[in-house]
Chain A
């Protein structure tokens, strides 16, 4: 009887010791840490961390409290750092459900999960504030709400580069 009690006590103690470790998602923690501190003195809010993968922190696993379904940053010209302010990002999911969201002064846009939860795949298009310029995604997103996971800077074999409204011309200027 004493041996059984000792075994149970041991099992409970082990569970208590190991439980905190079982709840830590180290992959997520690493992804959050890799984003580094806030940039340029901009505090957490709608204008912070342009170009970073929003849903890493806003995906429900923290540390951000607001949960996004989709989020990203749009720039005016391919390869440039000027944000596309007031552009409209149109998201359409495979059921035909459409959501439009404007970009803010940092070029950032985000959609709250409570407002719109698209069924993947999704197709996206971004149009300038005056409607004169537009870019549509040539492919589609299959599962990732963070635009910057695929649209990383710089462009490379695993990244299309940041989202932009206008292609850069051959001489580096706007088309």
Chain B
């Protein structure tokens, strides 16, 4: 009889311990911990030109400048971070230039999209030192956003980057992105990428364009 009571007591104690363990586990789960992403630099000198290129090329209000997108981008060519600013780079239209805070919001959106893949890609690319094409260990194509831009993965916006090059040289959009993934952004390439797309027909000559 004593053994029976002892058994019941032990069983009850075990159950209580199990519940306590489970409760503790529930309250100190993964969401309480910081998850590190080994990503390319976020500082504005390195990512700012990339962010400007991305929002110009992909961040219009009808594409990635929408709150409903997985990959969201902020800037004066599209969605604004400041609720009092309009999607325009010009003050007289209620907007203003893209801000550092918008660059950083775009950065967080981009590196947080596939954090594990971003970590793996950066680990393989950061030794390339800004070379284009990068070293064999660097695989930007593992990232979905690169696949979509290059037309490897289905993309409603179509193929935006031509990895075979444009006008006899590398596509400046690809150079801008890949060198950032190496941690050494080619700012000249990012500036050149702002001229894409180029429309063949100039605006009507007699029109006083704003």
Assembled-state Cα–Cα distance A161/B66 (Å): 15
Interface size, A (range): 35 or more
In this assembly, does B23 line the interface, its C-beta being within 8 Å of a C-beta of chain A? no
Across the two chains, which residue of chain A brings its CB closest to B56?
A139
A contact patch SS:
loop
Are A142 and B86 within 8 A (Cβ)? no
Assembled-state Cα–Cα distance A95/B200 (Å): 7
Are B79 and A157 within 8 A (Cβ)? yes
Across the two chains, which residue of chain A brings its CB closest to B62?
A144
Are A159 and B207 within 8 A (Cβ)? no
Are B60 and A134 within 8 A (Cβ)? no
Taking the nearest CB of chain B, how far is it from the CB of A157, in angstroms?
4
Are B199 and A158 within 8 A (Cβ)? no
Assembled-state Cα–Cα distance A149/B158 (Å): 20
Interface size on B, residues (CB 8 A): 40
Interface-lining segment among B43-51, B87-95, B125-133: B87-95
Determine the chain B residues whose CB is within 8 A of the CB of A156 once the complex forms.
83, 86
Q: Which of A91-140 contact B (CB under 8 A)?
A: 92, 94-96, 98, 120-121, 123, 125, 127, 131-136, 138-140
Q: Mark A137-157, 1 if CB is under 8 A from B, else 0.
A: 011111110000110000111
A139-B200 contact in complex given A134-B210, A161-B86, C-beta closer than 8 Å: no
A160-B87 contact in complex given A134-B208, A139-B78, A140-B197, C-beta closer than 8 Å: yes
Assembled-state Cα–Cα distance A160/B42 (Å): 28
Determine the chain B residues whose CB is within 8 A of the CB of A133 once the complex forms.
208
Across the two chains, which residue of chain B brings its CB closest to A152?
B61
Are B87 and A159 within 8 A (Cβ)? yes
Determine the chain B residues whose CB is within 8 A of the CB of A135 once the complex forms.
209-210
Across the two chains, which residue of chain A brings its CB closest to B66?
A158
Q: Which of B60, B80, B200, B207 contacts A140 (CB 8 A)?
A: B60
Determine the chain B residues whose CB is within 8 A of the CB of A138 once the complex forms.
77, 88-90, 93, 210
In this assembly, does A64 line the interface, its C-beta being within 8 Å of a C-beta of chain B? no
In this assembly, does B63 line the interface, its C-beta being within 8 Å of a C-beta of chain A? yes
Determine the chain A residues whose CB is within 8 A of the CB of B141 once the complex forms.
none
Determine the chain A residues whose CB is within 8 A of the CB of B85 once the complex forms.
157
Are A92 and B201 within 8 A (Cβ)? yes
Taking the nearest CB of chain B, how far is it from the CB of A102, in angstroms?
14
In this assembly, does A167 line the interface, its C-beta being within 8 Å of a C-beta of chain B? yes
Q: Which of A77-92 contact B (CB under 8 A)?
A: 78, 90, 92
In this assembly, does B7 line the interface, its C-beta being within 8 Å of a C-beta of chain A? no
Q: Which of A42-101 contact B (CB under 8 A)?
A: 78, 90, 92, 94-96, 98
19 contacts between A and B (CB under 8 A): A92-B200, A94-B199, A96-B200, A98-B201, A134-B209, A136-B203, A136-B209, A139-B56, A139-B78, A140-B60, A141-B60, A141-B62, A142-B60, A142-B63, A150-B60, A150-B62, A157-B80, A157-B85, A167-B92
Besides the known contacts A92-B201, A95-B200, 5 further A-B residue pairs in the complex with CB atoms under 8 A apart: A78-B93, A136-B207, A139-B77, A142-B62, A160-B86
Closest 5 CB pairs of A and B: A96-B200, A144-B62, A150-B61, A134-B207, A157-B80
A residues whose Cβ falls under 8 Å from a Cβ of B: 78, 90, 92, 94-96, 98, 120-121, 123, 125, 127, 131-136, 138-144, 149-150, 155-161, 167
